[in-house]
Every structure is written in C-alpha cells, then in structure tokens.
Amino acid sequence: MNCSALSSATFLFPLAHTAAPEVAVPRAVSGLAGAWTFDPLVVLGLLGSAWLYRRGTRAHRACLQAAGGTTECVGGLRRWEIVSFWAGWWTLVLAIVSPLHAWGGVLFSAHMTQHELLMLVAAPLLVLGRPLVALLFAIPRGDARQLASFAREPRWQALWRCLTNPLAAWIVHAFALWLWHVPRLYEATLRYEWLHHLQHACFFGSALLFWWALMHGRAGLRGFGAGVLYLFTTMMHSGLLGALILFSDTLVYPAYANTAPAWALTPLEDQQLGGLIMWVPAGLIYVIAALAMLAGWMRAGERPLSWQLAAAIPAARVPAILFCVLCLTGCSDRHREEAAALTGGDPKRGKHRIHELGCGACHTIPGVSGARGLVGPSLEGIADRNYLGGVLANEPQNLMSWLMDPPAHSPRTVMPNLVKSEEDARDIAAYLYTLRVR
Ligand code: HEC
C-alpha cells in the first residue's frame, strides 16, 4: 500500500525534487544540441511514469481479453487516450529534458515556450490519457481495491471535491501563473535550479489540476458551460500577462540582458517574442479547448450518460489527491521560498544559527524556541518593516550588513557583532524574511 502510494506520487510528479543538478549553458545554436538536462530525479520520474502507464495499459488489455468486457475492465482506456498520454509524456521530455530547458536559462522566449508546452500541451494531453486509470491497472488488484475504498472515505471525498472544484483549480492555476512571473521571484529561478524546478512543478501541477477539473471534474451537463467560461477567462488573464510583457518598453526580467544577444535578438525583442508566445499561440490552445468543450456540450445534450463514465470510477480519485497534496505543500511555503529567493540563504539553517548565537536573549523571535528577550525590538514581522535599527532601509543587503556589524550602522547600539560569516548572515536574513506580519 505504502509502496504503491509512493510510486503513484512519482507517477504524477516527475518534477519534484531538491537536488541541484548541473545545467549546461548553451551560448550559441551549435551548443544547443549537447545541452540536455539529465536531472536524475526528473529522469527517474519520467521513466517511472512511463513504466507504470505501460504496465497499466498492458494489464488493461489483458483484462479485456480475459474477461471479454466484464465489469472489472469497464471504464478502461481507449486507444486515443493512450496515444494522448504518450504525446503528453514526450512533450514533457521535450520541455524538461531536451535542450529547450537549458535554452530557457539564456533566452526568455525559449523559456516561455517551455512553460507553454508544460501547461498547455503536456498537462492536458496527460490528463486526457487518464493516468490514474492506468495506475489502477498497473498495481496489484488488491492494492487497487484498497486504494478505492480509501478514496471513498468521506474526508478524502470532501478534500477531493474541493480540489477538483473547477473554480478552485482555476484560482490555484491563475495564482501560480501570476506569482511566478513576479520579476524578483522569476529571476531567482534562473539563479537557483531548485527554485526553477519548484516553479515548473507549480506550473505543471496547477495546470494538471486545472485541466483535470475541466475534463473530469463534476462535469455533467452544466460542467461544459462552466468549463468554457473557465477556459475563456484563463485565456484572458494569461493573455493579459503576455500582453503586459509584450508591450513593456523596459526589461521586465533583466537577467536575460547579457545572454539574449548571443541569439541574434536584442533583450527587448526576446522579451517581446516571449510575451507574444504567451499571448497568441497559448490563447489559441485555450480557444481550441473551449471549442472542443462546446462540441461536447452539444453532444452531451443528446447522450448525457456517456460523459458521466469517467466520473463514475471513484477509485481513480486517490492518486490525484496525493498529487494535489504534494503540490499544495510545494506551493504553500511561499514565504520560505520568497525569503530564500530574496537573500540566497537557507531559512532553516538561519533559524538554527539564530538559536545557537543566542539572539533570543535580546529579541523576541517567532519560531525560535526560547527567544523571548526584551532588550531589542521584537523581530516579529521584521520582513514588513521599513527600517532596520531605525537607520537602514530594510533590504536584503542592508539586513546582512546590519547583522554582521550593527555598530557600524548605529554606533551606540548595544547589539553586538555576533554574526561572523557571510553565509551565516545570508541564512539568518533568509529566516528573518520569513517573518511577515500576515
Ligand atoms: C545584546 C542584545 C542583542 C543581541 C544579543 C542581539 N541584538 Fe539585535 N538588536 C538589539 C537592539 C537593542 C536593537 C535595536 C536597534 C538599535 O539599537 O539601533 C537590535 C536590532 C536588531 C535588528 C533590527 C530590528 C529593527 O526592527 O530595526 C535585527 C534584524 C536584529 N537586531 C537581529 C539580531 C540577530 C539576528 C541577532 C543574533 C545574531 C541579534 N539581533 C542579537 C540587541 C541585540
């Protein structure tokens, strides 16, 4: 049971990991061919999911042949669904393993292409391939049944209903999309490979959720109308984001300023091309999906029952829950990610150092045990404060500088020089920036 739960997690989440791989940086077209990114965990996740899906489709075929269509295999996979899964899987390979990934590190427009492939091609194709059904066939029958009964527990059902509510999925997806395009956060993903992967996981994960909710959510007859609306509004807001980037006359993401010229584009042209890709081709995909949904709506008017079929397999809901939980835990620690991105430090280590250095003797510091000192100001909400020690603008560099030598900034302060290394300063600053008012 545990084992199958684990494998279903890799199955759905090939992008989640923490390792920091070496990414080759292509400098010219000739360098592209060799710039594959073989991150062990990504490759493992991809291979694992391919293996499971293939196992599932084989078992399904065997089941059909043996049972001649008894209830066990009903609701199984159709040929076009299988084709769709593999198309989605190869798109994932193209997006995160092929040189496109490394290319995105030096060219904004390539990066946008990669994101659109993840969110608008791979995600819907994989969802159409009904990987959860394949998964249920791939694991032993007993496990599948256990999983199914587990899925019927009321609290899972409630959580699942909440997660696959199209409006919730719409919001999560929109939030992920806009948040990760905030320039500071976006640029941090170019510096830290793990953050970059987190970004991709959020994009891809929230897109899976979005398409899932649209295609398999509590669709029914009314679902189609709502689906068209959700598609249309997503097209509008993501198009707006693309248009904002396209029409900006300053560089939104200056990190590409040095690397874009190697590709015969000025940085601004590169940015405009990226914005255009987000706006037009991506918008087209939403339009096509909306048209398909309209067609389904009309057909459903005639044969509403056929469309209830997918929703009728309760067991198929479990792995999706696991995946959603994974994605939510990945996305929930925003403050931590942001703080780390701002400072380049490790908040967790910072917290340890704060404890070890005894800052708590003078400061009250949320989250640090025993830190209830009253000599200095409480550090609660320090991230949202305007000034440090009343003298320095509250910016990452200033905070680190303050930590390393308070008297240099405020000669009469009683706060001593406790932080000796830059690494400590960075990590401590990272932790302090997780302390927000809200
Ligand atoms: C001996 C007491 C003392 C110790 C120990 C101490 N501080 Fe302070 N700290 C102060 C005082 C007092 C201030 C108020 C600023 C001033 O004096 O100008 C301050 C200010 C600060 C500020 C600016 C807060 C603000 O709102 O302006 C930060 C951040 C800070 N300390 C972090 C730390 C950290 C991290 C440590 C541990 C490495 C630490 N302090 C150790 C006394 C101390």
Residue 388 Cα to ligand 1 midpoint, Å, equals: 9
pLDDT for position 291: 87
Same domain, yes or no: 309 and 357? no
Nearest CA to ligand 1 atom 19: 376
pLDDT for position 68: 61
pLDDT for position 71: 59
Same domain, yes or no: 138 and 229? yes
Q: Is residue 214 included in any domain, yes or no?
A: yes
Residue 359 Cα to ligand 1 midpoint, Å, equals: 7
Same domain, yes or no: 192 and 286? yes
Same domain, yes or no: 139 and 211? yes
Same domain, yes or no: 292 and 177? yes
Alpha helices in 366-436 (DSSP H): 396-404, 406-409, 422-432
Residue 192 Cα to ligand 1 midpoint, Å, equals: 30
pLDDT for position 123: 96
Position 62, amino acid: A
**Of the residues 302, 332, 362, the one at which a domain ends:** 332
Number of domains in the chain: 2
Q: Is residue 48 included in any domain, yes or no?
A: yes
Q: Is residue 245 included in any domain, yes or no?
A: yes
Same domain, yes or no: 281 and 391? no
Nearest CA to ligand 1 atom 32: 403
Q: Is residue 176 included in any domain, yes or no?
A: yes
Report the CATH number that the domain containing residue 379 is assigned in CATH: 2.60.40.420
pLDDT for position 334: 65
**Of the residues 306, 332, 358, the one at which a domain ends:** 332
Q: Is residue 342 included in any domain, yes or no?
A: no
> At how many degrees (to 10) do helices 79-96 and 40-67 cross?
170
Same domain, yes or no: 213 and 240? yes
Same domain, yes or no: 327 and 419? no
State the closest ligand 1 atom to the C-alpha of 388, by its place in the atom list counted from 1.
27
Residue 431 Cα to ligand 1 midpoint, Å, equals: 14
For a substitution probing ligand 1, which of 349, 355, 356, 363 has the most ligand atoms within 8 Å of its CB? 363
Same domain, yes or no: 60 and 199? yes
SS3 309: coil
Same domain, yes or no: 400 and 299? no
What are phi and psi for residue 364, nearest 5 degrees? -90, 120
Nearest CA to ligand 1 atom 43: 415
Same domain, yes or no: 12 and 150? yes
> Could you list the pLDDT tens digit for every one of the 438 residues in the chain?
333 333 333 444 444 433 344 455 777 777 788 888 888 989 999 999 999 999 999 988 888 877 665 556 666 788 899 999 999 999 999 999 999 998 998 899 999 999 999 999 999 999 999 898 888 888 888 888 888 788 888 888 888 778 778 888 899 999 999 999 999 999 899 888 889 989 999 999 999 999 988 887 655 445 677 788 889 999 999 999 999 999 988 889 988 888 888 888 899 999 999 999 999 999 999 999 988 888 877 776 654 444 443 443 333 344 444 444 444 444 345 677 777 888 888 888 999 999 999 999 999 998 888 888 888 899 988 988 888 888 888 988 999 999 999 999 888 889 999 999 999 999 999 999 988 875
> At how many degrees (to 10) do helices 193-216 and 166-179 cross?
160
Nearest CA to ligand 1 atom 5: 359
Same domain, yes or no: 185 and 90? yes
Q: Is residue 437 included in any domain, yes or no?
A: no
Alpha helices in 68-180 (DSSP H): 79-96, 99-104, 108-116, 123-128, 131-138, 141-151, 154-163, 166-179
**Of the residues 280, 305, 332, the one at which a domain ends:** 332
Q: What is the extent of the structural domain holding 176?
A: 2-332
Nearest CA to ligand 1 atom 12: 376
Q: Is residue 341 included in any domain, yes or no?
A: no
A 10 A CB-CB count for 236 gives 12
Measured from CB, residues less than 6 Å from any atom of ligand 1 are 354, 357, 359, 361-363, 375-377, 379, 382, 385, 388-390, 403, 410, 413-416, 418-419, 428, 432
Q: Is residue 338 included in any domain, yes or no?
A: no
Residue 420 Cα to ligand 1 midpoint, Å, equals: 15
